[in-house]
């Protein structure tokens, strides 16, 4: 989500003070220091400035700006590789000194690796996010060879209004994000098991890894299933499955307004406009008790570093625990809960299985059955990923829970 309050950025150009609306998808504040750069700026110079915290407002050719971003990415990778090598050497030295081998102990290594990777990604995003473009009111760029970005940016960031917003400054990375999302939205994500496509919007969890769909198709519906909720609906995928399986009254919720707009569009495309949508924290208000409540919460207990990450990262498992705490109050008699959850957090040692089972027990929920599937997405096959061992072991489950019998 964009920063709720309008922010402005200013800089000197040709001895004139300029200002523009500041947009940042990562909720970074306006840059304090801006330098004008163009086709003559070398990648090494740009990299040094960006690492020192200077933001770079691009005035050259649009394609050259993209090339520069790639060159910055390569420099960051080289620095990361050198840092990793230094760490490995240090660990090897420590190993030699130590009688036991604490640094190869997986229980220490894996969570450290995860947190290190998050830090590296955040640092990378900060540096790359310092290459900026100025766009006019309709997100039109005056740069040479700039493509038409207007529709993609309006869809992602909304219309700019007001005379004061005669132009805006944002990172080229955010613009590339908007252009990529526009392509997904146009072509859709095919869900073969359902024989349909889902059209994700910018900033909404795109079900590109959707092996859990088979679990939702396999699980037997409760005997009576007139009312079902989909909590955290995203693109609306799970609500669509429930409606397609014949549930008459499906209510889908999400906190993210972009998700609601996206789900609404997907329901309309599929002629399922009877699915109700509510922008609420977890459970719908003024709704009849549900025979079935499904939820696919963000699966990693870590702090999201930008609003775009809210679908994946859930600080302290707050959404998951809130869901388990409140869900019984919204179920009808003989109602069921289908919780979709990857165990990646367990392989990364961010949460234990005992903790999860403990939360079920604390909220008086019994496991009726569990269906499992192995992810097949690209990252689970990528052995160059430092977290490959954890990803390869990942299992996604549908936990069917019911309230304990008194
Ligand atoms: C992993 S995504 C799942 C999206 C979709 N159900 C699916 O399976 O493709 C998690 C979703 O939960 C939403 N969410 C996170 N916290 C929430 C909350 N407290 N209340 C409602 N929705 C929430 C996020 O915006 C996101 O759309």
User: Which bin fits 282, alpha (ψ -120 to 50), beta or left (φ > 0)?
Assistant: left
Confidence of residue 104 (pLDDT cuts 50, 70, 90): very low
Q: Rounded to a whole number, what is the largest CA-CA distance in the chain?
A: 77
% of the chain with per-residue pLDDT over 70: 91
Per-residue pLDDT tens digits for 313-323: 999 999 999 99
List the domain boundaries for the chain.
1-187, 188-403
Per-residue pLDDT tens digits for 6-15: 899 999 999 9
From ligand 1's centre to the CA of 327, what distance in Å? 15
Helices (H) and strands (E) in the chain, counts: 12, 15
Do the Cβ atoms of 236 and 243 come closer than 8 Å?
no
Flag whether pLDDT at 333 surpasses 80. yes
* pLDDT score at 1: 44
* pLDDT score at 332: 97
Per-residue pLDDT tens digits for 185-218: 999 999 999 999 999 999 999 998 888 999 999 9
From ligand 1's centre to the CA of 352, what distance in Å? 22
Flag whether pLDDT at 379 surpasses 80. no
Flag whether pLDDT at 4 surpasses 70. no
Atom of ligand 1 nearest to the CA of 282: 20
Atom of ligand 1 nearest to the CA of 294: 6
Do the Cβ atoms of 203 and 255 come closer than 8 Å?
no
Which residues are CB-neighbours of 289 under 8 A, at least 6 positions away?
227, 330, 331, 332, 335
From ligand 1's centre to the CA of 378, what distance in Å? 22
User: Which bin fits 227, alpha (ψ -120 to 50), beta or left (φ > 0)?
Assistant: beta
How far is 196 from 398, CA to CA, in rounded Å?
A: 22
Nearest to 140 by CA among 114, 160, 111: 160
From ligand 1's centre to the CA of 310, what distance in Å? 8
Q: Does 82 or 393 have the greater pLDDT score? A: 393
Per-residue pLDDT tens digits for 342-354: 999 999 999 999 9
Helix, strand, or coil here: 61? coil
Tell me the average pLDDT across 113-135: 92
How far is 154 from 127, CA to CA, in rounded Å?
A: 25
Tell me the average pLDDT across 264-290: 96
* pLDDT score at 288: 97
Q: What CATH number is given for 188-403 in this structure?
A: 3.40.50.150
* pLDDT score at 97: 62
Q: Whose CA is nearest to atom 23 of ligand 1?
A: 232
From ligand 1's centre to the CA of 204, what distance in Å? 9
% of the chain with per-residue pLDDT over 90: 76
- List all residues whose CB is within 6 A of at least one atom of ligand 1: 205, 207, 231-235, 237-238, 253-256, 259, 281-282, 296-298, 310-311, 319
CA 62 vs. chain centroid, Å, equals 27
* pLDDT score at 99: 47
Flag whether pLDDT at 95 surpasses 60. no
Per-residue pLDDT tens digits for 36-92: 999 999 999 999 999 999 999 999 999 999 999 999 999 999 987 787 777 766 765
How far is 351 from 354, CA to CA, in rounded Å?
A: 8
* pLDDT score at 152: 97
Q: Whose CA is nearest to atom 14 of ligand 1?
A: 232
* pLDDT score at 98: 54
The pLDDT mean for the chain works out to: 91
Flag whether pLDDT at 3 surpasses 80. no
Tell me the average pLDDT across 359-364: 97
Alpha helices per DSSP H over 211-305: 212-218, 237-244, 257-269
Tell me the average pLDDT across 92-99: 59
Do the Cβ atoms of 262 and 204 come closer than 8 Å?
yes
């Amino acid at each position: 989500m964009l920063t709720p309050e309008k922010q402005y950025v200013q800089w000197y150009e040709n001895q004139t003070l300029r200002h523009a609306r500041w947009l940042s998808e990562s909720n970074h504040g306006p840059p304090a220091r801006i330098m004008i750069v163009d086709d003559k700026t070398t990648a090494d110079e740009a990299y040094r400035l960006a690492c020192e915290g200077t933001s770079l407002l691009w005035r050259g050719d649009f394609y050259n700006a993209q090339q520069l971003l790639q060159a910055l990415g390569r420099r960051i990778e080289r620095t990361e590789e050198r840092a990793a090598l230094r760490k490995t050497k240090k660990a090897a030295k420590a190993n030699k000194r130590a009688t036991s081998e604490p640094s190869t102990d997986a229980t220490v290594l894996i969570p450290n690796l995860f947190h290190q990777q998050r830090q590296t990604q955040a640092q990378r995003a900060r540096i790359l996010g310092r290459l900026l473009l100025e766009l006019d009111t309709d997100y039109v760029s005056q740069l040479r060879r700039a493509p038409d970005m207007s529709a993609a940016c309006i869809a992602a960031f909304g219309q700019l209004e007001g005379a004061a917003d005669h132009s805006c400054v944002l990172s080229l990375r955010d613009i590339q994000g908007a252009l990529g999302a526009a392509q997904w939205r146009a072509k859709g994500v095919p869900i073969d098991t359902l024989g349909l496509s889902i059209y994700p919007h910018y900033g909404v969890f795109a079900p590109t890894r959707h092996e859990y769909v088979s679990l939702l198709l396999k699980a037997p519906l409760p005997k009576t299933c007139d009312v079902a909720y989909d909590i955290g609906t995203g693109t609306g995928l799970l609500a669509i499955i429930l409606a397609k399986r014949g549930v008459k009254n499906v209510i889908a919720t999400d906190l993210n307004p972009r998700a609601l707009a996206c789900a609404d569009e997907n329901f309309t495309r599929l002629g399922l406009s009877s699915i109700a949508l509510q922008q609420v924290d977890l459970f719908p208000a003024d709704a009849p008790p549900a025979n079935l409540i499904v939820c696919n919460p963000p699966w990693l207990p870590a702090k999201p570093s930008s609003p775009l990450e809210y679908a994946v990262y859930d600080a302290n498992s707050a959404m998951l625990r809130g869901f388990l705490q409140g869900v019984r109050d919204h179920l009808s008699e003989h109602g069921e809960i289908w919780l979709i959850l990857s165990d990646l957090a367990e392989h990364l040692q961010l949460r234990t299985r005992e903790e999860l089972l403990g939360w079920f027990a604390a909220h008086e929920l019994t496991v009726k059955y569990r269906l499992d599937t192995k992810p097949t997405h690209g990252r689970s096959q990528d052995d160059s990923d430092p977290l490959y061992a954890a990803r390869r072991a990942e299992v996604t489950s549908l936990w069917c829970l019911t309230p304990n019998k008194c």
